[in-house]
Amino acid sequence: MRTAIISDIHSNLSALEAVLADIDQRKVQRIICLGDLIGYGPDPVACADLVAERCEWSLLGNHDFGVLYEPTNFNSAAEQAAYWTRRQFEAAAKEDTIAGERRWNFLGHLKVRVNDNNYLCVHGSPRRPINEYLFPDDAINNPHKLESIFGRFDRMCLVGHTHHPGVFTEDQEFWKPEELPESTFIVDPLQKGIINPGSVGQPRDGDPRASYAILDTDAGEDKHRIEFHRLPYDIDITVAKIHAIPELHDWLGDRLLEGR
């Protein structure tokens, strides 16, 4: 089976539509989402509806939590975006109460963690599933942190949150997709690993293209593959939408152009 792994859409409809179109061309049987459907971007309602329609399940990210409950520990721009996003869902629910109830029900049942065929899936980390960051530099600077986190799962773990695609290995290395042969990681059944598919709607690794991954298990239990994919989308559309919304800071759009 081929499973597309998406994460950190952040209300970027242009990026999400581009990724879904690419997924549809790659003979993928299912899609899962590691959280942060919303927050920051200009199209939260449309993105939530698309994820609900296309994904088998989705996780609760810290921005999803912030919109549904309270945006704690957010900077001012992220906090303001969270409150604006909440108002968009409230307004949409008033316009269509049936769709609104369905949408709130979907968001209210986003999962904190899922064990998907021996892959533990969380937004942040197995230790703090909603909001702990696993940065590439942790492989060098925080060996005790990684050791603790690797002790929290049995085989493989899928995470989002940092918007940096790549793989943490049990020997405390981090491999970027471009450092892997054909941007593909071969899963060793005797070793643990943590895979981050990167961000659909707001990459932060210096590459502004949308990022996602595909887990391919068709070759058998001992030959799983993780394929990383990058693709361009119409960033200018999203930037223009953000700039047109007074409640969203312009730099939330500007940084998309640089993948920061």
Look up the pTM and report it: 0.95
Q: What is the pLDDT of residues 109-136, one digit of tens each?
A: 999 999 998 899 999 999 999 999 999 9
Tokens 């990167």 — which residue? 198
Consecutive H or E run containing 194: strand 193-196
Q: How does pLDDT run across 193-237, given as a tens digit for each residue?
A: 999 999 999 999 999 999 999 999 876 666 889 999 999 999 999
Q: Where are the domains of the chain?
A: 2-251
Superfamily of domain 2-251: Metallo-dependent phosphatases (3.60.21.10)
CA–CA separation, 208 and 33 (whole Å): 20
**Number of Cβ within a 10 Å radius of residue 110:** 21
Nearest residue to 10 via CA among 90, 94, 66, 87: 66
* 30-55 average pLDDT score: 98
Q: What is the pLDDT of residue 220?
A: 66
Dump pLDDT digits (tens) for 228-248. 999 999 999 999 999 999 999
Those residues whose C-beta lies under 8 Å from the C-beta of residue 117, and which sit 6 or more positions away, are: 217
